[in-house]
């Protein structure tokens, strides 16, 4: 078990009332496994991802990575943590600094972590994300959304993380590239034995992609299971409702 999330709680204040965006959420993720967090907008998927990425701090619960408690990582230790956890964001253009080329941004990460790559390894990674090498010398606004997202995935893979968080990583892409990029993420995670937490509101994508699906609603896990279980034999009323809305 690579990642173990136990009873995670995150509350926010809205109009004077506190409400739990993530409400006693528990799940696990294995190396090489692709877990899809599915659910309607506002169900707490992004909040969960951001808690694991240490972009916000939980009110309760535990996050354990490879046996180590990473629930509250102090600022000066975050760099070490990000060596193991990488993230791909929803908006590919905005996930790259506008004044640096894609290559500069990607190489910065490699340099910051003192990683070494042979030319062959880089070529292999480029081939894996299906990005023409020439695109790397462009600025984020000079490539298509799909190409930019491939570069973002390349940036994450270069760090050789144990966990890849993808928050709606394909939602901003057009329909034709969406499936390709999602499949590419899946293949990369399988090949490098990366545990992938793939957040999406797209149930059809979840079905095609997932090893396991966790359906979220109001910050809680409603139902967890293989895509087959969830989609052909849903147990919970909410899941049935959600699936019915697809038809």
Ligand X SMILES: Nc1ncnc2c1ncn2[C@@H]1O[C@H](COP(=O)(O)OP(=O)(O)O)[C@@H](O)[C@H]1O
Site for ligand X (CB under 6 A): which residue of 35, 47, 73, 89?
Answer: 47
Give the residue with the Cβ less far from other proteins, 105 or 162: 105
SS3 209: helix
Interface stretch with ligand X, choices 44-52, 97-105, 106-114, 169-177 (CB under 6 A): 44-52
Indicate the residue whose CB is closest to ligand X. 46
Q: Please, which of residues 16-55 interact with other proteins by CB under 8 A? A: 53, 55
Q: Please, which of residues 94-113 interact with other proteins by CB under 8 A? A: 94-99, 105, 108-109, 112-113
Sheet holding 195-200, edge to edge: 85-88, 163-167, 195-200, 34-39, 212-217, 220-225
For every residue of 2-38, DSSP letters joined together read -EEEEEEEEEEEETTEEEEEEEEEEEEE-TT-EEEEE
By CB under 6 A, residue 46 contacts ligand X = yes
Pairing of strands 60-65, 220-225: unpaired
- Considering all CA atoms of the chain, what is the largest pairwise distance in Å, rounded to the nearest integer? 56
Among 87, 92, 97, CA closest to 173: 92
Neighbours of 56 (CB within 10 A): 13
Give the residue with the Cβ less far from ligand X, 26 or 144: 26
By CB under 6 A, residue 203 contacts ligand X = no
Q: Could you give the CA distance from residue 207 to residue 201 in angstroms, rounded to a whole number?
A: 11
By CB under 5 A, residue 200 contacts Mg ion = no
Name the minimum Å distance from CB 12 to ligand X.
Answer: 4
Q: Please, which of residues 6-35 interact with ligand X by CB under 6 A? A: 12, 21
By CB under 6 A, residue 43 contacts ligand X = yes
By CB under 8 A, residue 157 contacts other proteins = no
Pairing of strands 17-29, 3-14: antiparallel
Residues at the interface with other proteins (CB under 8 A) = 53, 55, 75, 78-79, 82-83, 85-87, 89-91, 94-99, 105, 108-109, 112-113, 152, 155-156, 159
Residues at the interface with ligand X (CB under 6 A) = 12, 21, 39, 41-47
């Amino acid at each position: 078990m690579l990642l173990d999330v136990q009873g995670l709680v995150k509350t926010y204040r809205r109009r004077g009332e506190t409400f739990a965006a993530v409400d006693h959420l528990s799940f696990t993720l294995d190396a090489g496994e692709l877990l899809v967090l599915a659910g309607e907008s506002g169900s707490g998927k992004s909040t969960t991802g951001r808690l694991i990425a240490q972009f916000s701090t939980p009110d309760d619960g535990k996050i354990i990575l490879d046996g180590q408690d990473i629930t509250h990582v102090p600022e000066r230790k975050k760099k070490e943590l990000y060596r193991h956890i990488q993230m791909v964001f929803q908006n590919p253009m905005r996930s790259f600094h506008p004044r640096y080329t894609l290559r500069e941004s990607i190489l910065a990460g490699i340099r910051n972590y003192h990683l070494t790559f042979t030319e062959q390894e880089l070529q292999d990674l480029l081939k894996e994300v299906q990005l023409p090498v020439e695109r790397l010398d462009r600025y984020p606004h000079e490539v298509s959304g799909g190409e930019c997202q491939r570069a973002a995935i390349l940036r994450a893979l270069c760090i050789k993380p144990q966990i890849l968080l993808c928050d709606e990583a394909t939602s901003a892409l057009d329909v034709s590239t969406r499936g390709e990029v999602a499949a590419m993420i899946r293949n990369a995670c399988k090949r490098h034995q990366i545990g992938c937490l793939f957040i999406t509101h797209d149930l059809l994508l979840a079905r095609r992609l997932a090893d396991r699906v966790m359906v979220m609603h109001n910050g809680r896990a409603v139902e967890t299971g293989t895509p087959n279980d969830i989609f052909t034999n849903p147990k919970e009323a909410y899941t049935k409702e959600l699936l019915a809305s697809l038809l």
